[in-house]
Amino acid sequence: MDPVLPSQSATHAQAAAQPVLQVDDLQTYFYTRIGLVKAVDGVSFSLRRGETLAIVGESGCGKSVTALSLMRLVADPPGRIVGGAVRLDGIDLLGLDATAMRRVRGKEISMIFQEPMTSLNPVMTIGRQISEALMLHGAALRKRARARTLEMLQLVGIPDPMERVKEYPHQLSGGMRQRAMIAMALACNPKVLIADEPTSALDVTIQAQILELMASLRHKLGTAMILITHDLGVVAETADRVIVMYAGRKVEEATVEELFAQPLHPYTRGLMRSIPRLALMRHGTASAGRLQEIPGTVPALSALPAGCAFAPRCAFASDICRREYPRYEEKRAGHRAACWHSDRLGGAAHG
């Protein structure tokens, strides 16, 4: 078993040292019949050891493609990573050849998917699937792999692991399958875990359990995590820092506390306002009680407007927004956003 890091090391203070993952100006384009789709257009961020970074946005904003790009699993054709760098501990993953990249996947950087129902092979026992991932990276021979598999199943809170290793995915519930997926992803003790909507397909009570599990594993193993989600509730509960993406670009970045206290992009504010809130609905005024959606839809990525991509849906939009893309700049300490009118946003989102 790998050494378990002291639980405190995973938190902010010490982790600030150096980033484990550094993404610079990542560009992933899709060449399709309807034209060039810039699914990820110049996204940069860094991830510190043991940190949880959330990437939020509506469907189609490029968050999943960002995740797949980090793993270099974007289907080609039609997709291609056309620019940027993804440095994992200083090594640029985009420069590796296919064989070297395969050695990184699952060992240094792992991923769990949205659909626990179909992400496990139905004709293979979960024990075999996990130990296979282990043996693939030479982490262990068959016998050691078995022991490690049991250990991982126990770690992710699957009861009676001795029996469960022999079971097939259809014999497990959705939550148990997601636990098994997590066990598989973490088996080789990767430095970075990417979780793409890990709880979206689960029902609410199970969601909470899985999030709790992921948080506790992060403390135990010190794995840095990128959490892709559209659920701001999940973000508030688990993330340290948040990136908000819109139409393939990063529009805002801040710590969770800062972001929820003072969103500096109208899109972020819109996202927060569209969360149903029980207290307000019960005895708020008519306008506060109603759920506020963001008007309009995400523009087609193949035909983005000239200026700010959010301008057509934005209440604050002015001429400059439609003309020029706003600079992405530090508006407050550690809080960056790309908006011409951040200063006009003032006041908390949760009014």
CA distance 238 to 240: 7
Is residue 37 part of the contact set for other proteins (CB under 8 A)? no
Backbone angles phi and psi of 280, in degrees to 5: -65, -40
Position among 184, 242, 314, 321 found at the interface with other proteins (CB under 8 A): 184
At closest approach, how far in Å is the CB of 83 from other proteins?
23
Which pair of structure tokens corresponds to residue 318? 């002015």
What is the closest distance, in whole angstroms, from the C-beta atom of residue 188 to other proteins in the complex?
8
Identify which range of 114-122, 246-254, 274-282, 329-337 contacts other proteins by CB under 8 A.
Answer: 114-122
Q: Does 15 contact other proteins by CB under 8 A?
A: no
What would the two tokens of residue 221 be? Answer: 């193993």
Distance CA 43, CA 24 (A): 7
Q: Taking CA 164 as the corner, what is the angle to CA 158 and CA 169, rounded to the nearest 5 degrees?
A: 95
| By CB under 8 A, residue 110 contacts other proteins | yes
Strand 192-196, strand 224-229: pairing: parallel
List of long-range contacts for 311-319, beta carbons under 8 Å, 24+ apart: 313/267, 313/270, 314/266, 314/267, 315/266, 316/266, 316/341, 316/344, 316/345
Out of 18, 118, 173, 318, the only residue in the binding site for other proteins (CB under 8 A) is: 118
* Binding-site member from 126, 133, 228, 243 for other proteins (CB under 8 A): 133
167-174 own/partner pairs: CB under 8 Å, 24+ apart: 167/125, 167/126, 168/122, 168/123, 168/124, 168/125, 168/126, 169/120, 169/121, 169/122, 169/126, 170/122, 172/126, 174/116, 174/117, 174/201, 174/202, 174/203, 174/206
Specify the residue, 107 or 313, whose C-beta has the smaller distance to other proteins: 107
Question: 131 is written with which tokens?
Answer: 């130990």
Nearest one of 208, 26, 167, 86 to 198, comparing CA atoms:
208
Residue 132 or 258 having the CB closest to other proteins: 132
107 lies in the binding site for other proteins (CB under 8 A): yes
Strand partners, 26: 43
Contacts (CB under 8 A) with other proteins, residues 62-91 = 71, 73
By beta-carbon proximity to other proteins, the closer residue of 195 and 256 is: 195
Residue 105 interacts with other proteins (CB under 8 A): yes or no:
yes
- Nearest-angstrom CA–CA distance, 133 and 44: 30
Q: Which is nearer to other proteins, 178 or 342 (CB)?
A: 178
Inter-helix orientation angle 126-136/142-155, to 10°: 120
* CB closer to other proteins out of 193 and 338: 193
Residue 115 near other proteins by CB under 8 A = yes
Instruction: Pick one of 74, 120, 172, 202: the residue that binds other proteins (CB under 8 A).
Output: 120
Q: In this chain, which of 94, 136, 140, 236 binds other proteins, going by CB under 8 A? A: 136
**At closest approach, how far in Å is the CB of 290 from other proteins?**
37
**Which listed range, 29-37, 108-116, 245-253, 287-295, lies at the site for other proteins (CB under 8 A)?**
108-116
**Least distance from other proteins to the Cβ atom of residue 59, Å:** 17
Nearer to other proteins, 102 or 322 (CB): 102
153 lies in the binding site for other proteins (CB under 8 A): no
Number of residues that bind other proteins (CB under 8 A): 26
Examine residue 5 and tell whether it contacts other proteins (CB under 8 A): no
Per DSSP, helices labelled H in 202-331 are 204-221, 232-238, 256-261, 266-273, 278-283, 286-289, 319-323
* Of 169 and 263, CB closest to other proteins: 169
Footprint of other proteins (CB under 8 A): 71, 73, 102-107, 110-111, 113, 115, 118-124, 132-133, 136-137, 181, 184-185
